[in-house]
Amino acid sequence: MLRSARVITVGLLVAVFASLAVPLGFAVVPVVVRSLEQPEPIPEPPADERQLPPVGLTPPAQVAALDPAAPLPNPALLTSALHAELRFEGSGVLSGVVVDAASGDVLFDDGSGNQQLPASNQKLLTAAAVMSKLDPGRRFETTVVAGELANELVLVAGGDVLLSSGESDSGAVVGHAGLQSLAEETVDALDPADGPFNILLDDTLFIGPTLNAGWLAGDVNAGEIAPIYPLAINSSWRDEAASRGPRSPDAALHAAAVFREAVVVAGSELGVEVGAEVIRSPALDGDAIQLAGVESATVEQQVEHMLLTSDNYLAETLARLAARASGQPASFGGATETIESAVGQLEVPGEGLVVSDAAGLSPRNEVSPAQLAALVRALAVSEEPGLVSILNGLPIAGLSGTLQDRYELQGPAASGAGLVRAKTGTLNAVTALTGYVVTTDGRLLVFSFMAGGLDGNTVAARTAIDRAAAALARCGCR
């Protein structure tokens, strides 16, 4: 269109010029004719920014706050809907509670005060204690310091049990700190003439027994848990790329041996010689010169990882670190006392609560659905960012963590996929699910469902609980 308009305009100009005096016409017409034969290029108009191709992903928009005036479900209708979903064949007793997060109103209650084995729902209590007692941005450092003798290198455990054997990866949680990177930094600080060097291990950060007296031998043998040390490669899995199978019976000594090998490799071209064995020995108090160090992922990132993957070893380690930060011994007893104290400070009813470990493996633990729901509600309404962040670590139904393979799109709980966020928990005779969901009317509900006394029907009970949580997600119930 622009070119056609230009041609028409030029033609009109020719007609006008032709009517002028002949000398002027002779002077102008050749110029006009040349312009018709070789038109000047038309400059492209500047592009609108909205039409330019994107150079990156647009940051997600801020999610609007829930409307506090959103209607509550009718308790009678909600109770009827949940009872229909919570039926399952076989033995066992299922208890549960649903609470409105904003008001605290109880909308459904079926034996919510019954004390039961929480399984890994126990990790919600642990997460609350850790985030209450530790700075969410804190990192744990694994260091190498000079020993008493010039040829002694002391590997000092700082509480990081998510180390990798390779290079540090700043974008990872597991392997954020790598023993290879630590070894290379160590070698850079050495004078080969001081060798051969002996590697010592200081893992005195934790005290007391390394195995909880309440843990069953079968769980230890199956790799559900292992002796607790303040230094480990990926939570003590022998295969560090795995998240199941056997664990090392001495995670700290294993990590120290891997570090020693990394020093051998890193120092081979520089003539650094290293002794054949790692010896446990505490470092000098206070005055030891640090030669190298690597830092873990943040406490907040580790708590999220613990909840998403239900990492038993990490739960026990973080609980001891929280105990130490609060002035308690970094032991099993100090950890359980710290958990009980932190939960009490969040005004969770303490009557009948028994905390025997941090991971939820001990058969001595006793927690009720009402207590778990009260804890999640306390987190949801908290003004402490660290406590609120715990909810971000809960698995998402059908999408992440231990809920990734549940809530299948063609299954009975499909309506909860992507909507239910909860901590899972399963033992041989127990299954539990505690978390939160937003109803179709925009009301935030907190729930906890627990089934105990199961005998070969754990999957059936778990499916019933999944159906119930999905019912909350699709519920208007008015």
412-421 residue pLDDT tens: 999 999 999 9
For the segment 5-20, the average pLDDT, to the nearest whole number, is: 36
Residue 49: what pLDDT? 52
Beta sheet of 106-110, edge-to-edge order: 106-110, 93-100, 444-452, 430-438, 421-427
Question: Greater confidence, 287 or 234?
Answer: 234
Region 265-269 average pLDDT:
93
More confident residue, 86 or 48: 86
- pLDDT of the residue at 246: 93
pLDDT at 28: 34
**475 pLDDT tier (thresholds 50, 70, 90):** confident
Q: Is the pLDDT of residue 46 over 80?
A: no
pLDDT in tens, 140-173: 999 999 999 999 999 999 999 999 999 999 999 9
Exposed / middle / buried, residue 10 (Cβ in 10 Å: 0-12, 13-18, 19+): middle
pLDDT beyond 90 at 128: yes
* pLDDT tens string 361-371: 999 999 999 99
Q: Which pLDDT score is estimated for 31?
A: 36
Beta bridge partners of 451: 94, 431
Average pLDDT over residues 49-53: 46
For every residue of 268-331, which 3-state class applies, written as one string? HHHCCCEEEEEEECCCCCCCCCEEEEEECCCHHHHHHHHHHHCCHHHHHHHHHHHHHHCCCCCC
Mean pLDDT over the full length of the chain: 88
**Averaged pLDDT for residues 31-36:** 37
Distances (CA, A) of 137 to 75, 200, 283: 41, 29, 26
Q: Coil, strand, or helix at residue 38? A: coil
Q: What tens digit of pLDDT does each residue of 175-230 get? A: 999 999 999 999 999 999 999 999 999 999 999 999 999 999 999 999 999 999 99
Check the CA dihedral 359-362-364-367 and report its sign: positive
pLDDT at position 409 is 86
**Rounded Cα gap, residues 291 and 283, in angstroms:** 13
pLDDT at residue 43 in the model: 53
Query: 52-56, 99-103, 153-157: which has the minimum mean pLDDT?
Result: 52-56
Positive or negative CA dihedral for 458, 462, 468, 469?
A: positive
* 441's tokens: 């009317």
Q: Which pLDDT does position 40 carry in this prediction?
A: 53
CB 116 within 8 A of CB 465: no
**Closest Cα partner for 355 from 211, 212, 225, 149?**
212
33 pLDDT higher than 70: no
